[in-house]
């Protein structure tokens, strides 16, 4: 008989004896107690189950490492993609600003060709906001757009003209 009571916890104070003929089923297994808290011995069935669990866990650890590597790759690509999108946003903003600026210049030139003075085209604050809403659309200035814009802008300029002192009207009167 083999006394394994020293491996039994405080909750089991009576001694436990295992017959010597059964000791072949006991295998050393880490530190701990026979009561299930990772004792130094286990039955062969428990050993096989433990090995199978360890093999599964080793496979899982490999999978975890692969998942971590994949996640690192995804994060690196995401950083590159974010940088690319930022450059696109910046180039889009600069393109938009350039488009609006060229459209403004084209509109001013067309209005000067129609006979409007620079002083008349410079609008007051309230009219300027309306002008900006009409003009600051990043679309090319086509003939169709110009026909639409001309009507609205000329009406704004005539309202502004009435607010400017000492500007001769169409008949030449001040």
CB within 8 A of 96, min separation 6: which ones?
138
d(CA 145, CA 162): 26
Residues of the chain with pLDDT under 50: 1, 13, 28-36
Q: Exposure of 30 by Cβ count < 10 A (0-12 exposed, 13-18 middle, 19+ buried)?
A: exposed
Tokens 């010597």 sit at which residue?
20
pLDDT for 129: 87
Per-residue confidence (pLDDT) for residue 73, from 0 to 100 = 92
> Under DSSP, is residue 52 helix (H, G, I), strand (E, B) or coil?
helix
pLDDT of 4-26, one tens digit each?
555 555 555 455 556 666 655 65
Kindly report the pTM of this predicted structure: 0.45
d(CA 34, CA 28): 11
Q: Please state the domain extents for the chain.
A: 2-42, 68-163
Tokens of residue 148, six digits: 């639409």
* Integer Cα distance of 133 and 155 in angstroms: 14
Q: Which of 50, 6, 11, 53 is closest to 27 using CA atoms?
A: 50
- DSSP 8-class letter at 73: H
Tell me the per-residue pLDDT of 91-104, one tens digit each, with 9 for 90 and over.
878 888 888 888 88
- Per-residue pLDDT, 72: 92
């Amino acid at each position: 008989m083999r006394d394994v009571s020293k491996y039994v916890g405080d909750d089991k104070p009576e001694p436990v004896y295992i017959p010597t003929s059964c000791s072949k089923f006991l295998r050393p297994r880490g530190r701990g107690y026979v009561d299930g808290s990772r004792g130094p011995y286990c039955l062969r069935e428990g050993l096989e189950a433990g090995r199978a669990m360890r093999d599964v866990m080793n496979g899982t650890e490999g999978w975890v490492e692969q998942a971590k590597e994949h996640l690192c790759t995804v994060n690196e690509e995401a950083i590159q993609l974010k940088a690319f999108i930022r450059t696109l946003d910046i180039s889009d903003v600069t393109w938009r600003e350039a488009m609006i600026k060229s459209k403004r210049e084209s509109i001013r030139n067309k209005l000067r060709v129609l006979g409007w003075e620079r002083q008349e085209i410079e609008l007051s604050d309230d009219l300027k906001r309306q002008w900006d809403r009409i003009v600051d659309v990043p679309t090319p200035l086509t003939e169709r757009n110009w026909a639409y814009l001309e009507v609205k802008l000329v009406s704004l300029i005539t309202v502004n003209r009435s607010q400017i002192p000492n500007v001769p009207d169409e008949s030449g009167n001040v």
